């Protein structure tokens, strides 16, 4: 299966049991809800997936289980966030062996690599695998920006196909499109810039609150791409207070609370993360409760005759 690098791709959460093992039953419930809503891919092992707390065996289990659930309906993509080039190459090998169809890659972790080191890191991993790659460009959280000049060099690798654009600079979507056209697909990675990025020409949306609200997220994307901007905007305005839960250090806890509210997740996180308490918990509960009470009735958004905007 080839990856089109468009549409809504949830960066899914990892579900845990009370015994701190993988909760594959609830994980399946969530993945099936994503597929029913019309997502175009499943991304595993990102920040929302609590990847830094997962063992290699758990990551392998999640890839294999997701491949089994989706039955080739959509591609399964695994995030790579490693400290060494050797580790990243090994992670790519394991991903391919387990059935993943693509990679999302962060720059080297911990060490603040310079531009040359960062480009070399990505290129060495790219040349080691046949899997297509989406570069995750998030200088706000990870301290390294992949510039347009760096992408010019990276695109010499045929399997580097897309960027998860998380610079928070909405103009960057236009800069990328103006310079690279369809050579580099752009997927916005910031929930609170989701609709804006689509209107600026982003091909897709790597989303967070989609984990709890898959249909609403897909509806915004599909309506916007079909030119039905007013309808997309109405849903987006309702959604924004919830989307803001994604740009927060406790985004995992926030989104898992929202998943509980919509019946497709549990609140369990893996230590050192802990469920929210006190005033912060009450604040998030209030946002979720208001969102649930005013949840919009969605128009039919599937199978629209999409146009490029």
DSSP codes, 9-59 = EEBPPPPB-TTSSB-HHHHHHHHHHHHHHT-S-EEESSTTTTGGG--HHHH
Cα gap 40→101, rounded to integer Å: 13
CATH architecture of the domain formed by 7-215: Alpha-Beta Barrel (3.20)
Task: Give the other-Cβ count within 10 Å of 185's Cβ.
Answer: 21
User: What's the rounded Cα separation, in Å, for the pair 143 and 148?
Assistant: 16
Neighbours of 142 (CB within 10 A): 18
Q: Are 84 and 76 in contact (CB under 8 A)?
A: no
How far apart (Å, rounded) are the C-alpha atoms in residues 92 and 126? 9
User: According to the model, what pLDDT value does residue 305 have?
Assistant: 60
CA-wise closest residue to 102 among 212, 245, 5, 21: 5
Write out pLDDT tens, residues 43-72. 999 999 999 999 999 999 999 999 999 999
Tokens of 124: 């060495």
Distances (CA, A) of 177 to 139, 148, 160, 203: 19, 11, 15, 10
> What's the pLDDT score for residue 309?
42
pLDDT tens-digit profile of 190-210?
Answer: 999 999 999 999 999 999 999
Note the pTM of the prediction, 2 decimals. 0.95
- Report whether 288 contacts 257 (CB < 8 A): yes
Residue with tokens 């969102």: 291
Q: Tell me which DSSP letter residue 73 carries.
A: S
Residue that is written with structure tokens 């060099």 in the block: 153
* Residue ranges of domains in the chain: 7-215
Contact 226, 273 (CB under 8 A): no
Within the chain, which residues score under 50 in pLDDT? 306-309
Number of separate helices (H) and strands (E) present in the chain: 12, 8
- Predicted confidence at residue 172, as pLDDT, reads 97
Q: What is the pLDDT at residue 307? A: 45
Q: Tell me, what's the pLDDT at 303? A: 85
What tokens were used for 216?
A: 């609403």
- CA-wise closest residue to 290 among 231, 250, 216, 239: 239
| Separation CA 196–CA 194 (nearest Å) | 6
């Amino acid at each position: 299966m080839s990856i089109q690098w468009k549409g809504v791709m949830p960066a899914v959460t990892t579900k845990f049991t009370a015994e701190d093992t993988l909760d594959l039953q609830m994980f399946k419930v969530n993945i099936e809800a994503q597929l029913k809503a019309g997502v175009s891919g499943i991304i595993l092992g990102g920040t929302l997936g609590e990847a830094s707390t997962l063992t290699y065996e758990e990551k392998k289990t999640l890839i294999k289980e997701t491949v089994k659930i989706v039955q080739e309906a959509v591609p399964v993509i695994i995030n790579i966030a490693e400290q060494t080039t050797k580790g990243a190459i090994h992670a790519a090998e394991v991903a391919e062996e387990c059935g993943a169809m693509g990679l999302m890659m962060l720059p080297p972790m911990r060490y603040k690599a310079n531009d040359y080191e960062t480009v070399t890191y990505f290129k060495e991993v790219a040349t080691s695998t046949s899997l297509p790659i989406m570069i995750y460009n998030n200088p706000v959280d990870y301290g390294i920006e992949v510039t347009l000049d760096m992408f010019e060099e990276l695109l010499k690798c045929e399997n580097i196909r897309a960027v998860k654009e998380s610079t928070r600079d909405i103009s960057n979507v236009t800069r990328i499109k103006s310079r690279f056209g369809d050579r580099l697909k752009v997927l916005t990675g910031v929930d609170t810039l989701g609709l804006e990025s689509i209107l600026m020409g982003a091909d897709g949306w790597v989303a967070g609150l989609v984990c709890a609200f898959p249909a609403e997220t897909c509806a915004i994307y599909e309506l916007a791409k079909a030119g039905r901007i007013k309808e997309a905007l109405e849903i987006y305005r309702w959604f924004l207070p919830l989307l803001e839960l994604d740009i927060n250090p406790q985004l995992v806890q926030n989104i898992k609370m929202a998943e509980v509210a919509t019946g497709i997740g549990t609140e369990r996180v893996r230590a050192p993360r802990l469920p929210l308490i006190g005033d912060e918990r009450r604040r998030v509960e209030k946002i979720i409760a208001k969102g649930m009470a005013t949840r919009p009735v969605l128009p039919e958004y599937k199978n629209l005759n999409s146009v490029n905007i």
